[in-house]
Structure 1
C-alpha cells in the first residue's frame, strides 16, 4: 500500500510522491516527536513538546519526564498504527537523544527511529 510522502513532493512523472508503509509510519513518528503542542490549530494537544526542551535545562530527570511524555503522545496519536516497545531519552551535554522502537501493526515489522535535538558539542 502506498501513502503520500512527507515532506510533500512531486515524483518524476509529475504526480504526488508516494512512500511505503514503513516509511510513512516513520514519518508519522517523527512528526509526532517534532511537533510542539499548540502548533496545530485543529489539534492543539498533538505533539510531544520535545522541541520546547531544546533550550531548557538538561538533566537525567528531565530526560525521564520527556520519555513518559513521548510514550504517551505516541500511544495516543499513533496507537492504531504502531505498538510502542521502547522509548529511550538520553541527556548528554546540550542534546537530547531520543530513540523509539516500535512494531508497525500492518506489517508486524520492528522499526527504530532516532531524533537528536539541541546543540551538538
Structure 2
C-alpha cells in the first residue's frame, strides 16, 4: 500500500521549520532557476510558496505546493523543488482571473494539476 501524500505540507526531509522566512529565496527546479519566493503560507494543511518567475515567464506568478520542496539551503538562500521548469510553466498561473488571492478554489486547481506527479495520492 502506498503512503498518502499531502502536497500542502513540507516533506520531513525538506529542512523547513515553522517561522523560517523564505521570502526572497531563489527557487531552483531540477533543470535550473525558476524565480524568487514572493509569499509563503504556513497555514496547516495549506502550505505553499508563491513564486515570482520574473522575466522567465514574463512576470507570471505561480503557486508551488509545499511538498514540491525537496531541500532548503538557508546559507545559499535557495529552495530546491522536484519539478522541472516546464512542469511549473504548464501549471495554472496565479492571478489569471485578475485576483492575487490564494483561495481554496485556486488551491484545488493547483492540487488537480500537481496530483499526477505524486501518483494520485493527494488528500
TM-score normalized with structure 1 length: 0.32
Question: Greater relative contact order: 1 or 2 (C-alpha under 8 angstroms, separation 6 or more)?
Answer: 2
| Higher relative helix content | 1
Scaled by the length of structure 2, the TM-score of the pair is: 0.31
